[in-house]
Amino acid sequence: MENRQLLEIMEKCGHFLYHRRGGKHGQMKVLRLLNERGCVTQSELLEVLALKSGTLSETVSKLETQGFIAKQRDLLDKRRINITITDEGKRFYEAQLEINRMQEEIMFTSLDVSEQEQLLKLLTTLFEDWRSKFDDNLFHCRKGVQ
């Protein structure tokens, strides 16, 4: 078997996993954090999600345009911008979580339990080997909400 075949199928799986959540994983991270914490400043979002300022600004702007979050200047410190999730944002977030849960229930049904365990072992072995051979920065998940 050629390595290229393995890479191609893994890329297809990765593409699917990214897009099954609408390609909006960053938006869901923001909504999850706001759903958990209530009110958060934009600087706290930057710190917790470890995003670039421009990326976060774009994400926040899109969520605000969709009516999922609200921004408001802090009454005590006008330099701070407080961000909260709206009722519509909570409904959207919960609906997306339910969609994800339903998809996760069926994603591996073509494999029996033994095959799922074997797949987990193989992918874990592969991932650990890659971590030992490639730049560590390629493997970092954003800190905080995942």
pLDDT averaged over consecutive 10-residue blocks of the chain (146 residues)?
89 86 78 94 87 88 96 88 95 93 92 96 94 85 43
Domains of the chain, residue spans: 23-106, 108-146
The burial of 7, by beta-carbon neighbours within 10 Å (0-12 exposed, 13-18 middle, 19 or more buried), is given as exposed
Decide which of 2.60.40.2470, 1.10.10.10, 2.60.320.10, 3.30.565.10 is the CATH code for 23-106. 1.10.10.10
Q: Are strands 81-85 and 69-73 parallel, antiparallel or unpaired?
A: antiparallel
pLDDT at res. 141: 56
Please calculate the CA angle 79-144-92 and round it to the nearest 5 degrees: 80
Say if residues 34 and 63 touch (Cβ distance below 8 Å): no
Compute the distance between CA of residue 23 and CA of residue 33 in angstroms, rounded to an integer: 18
Interacting residues of 31 by C-beta distance below 8 A, sequence separation 6+: 63, 68, 69, 85, 89, 92, 93
pLDDT at res. 143: 43
Q: Tell me, what DSSP letter sits at residue 77? A: -
The burial of 83, by beta-carbon neighbours within 10 Å (0-12 exposed, 13-18 middle, 19 or more buried), is given as buried
> Model pTM?
0.73
Residue 33 tokens, joined: 């954090």
Backbone angles phi, psi at 105, to 5 degrees: -65, -30
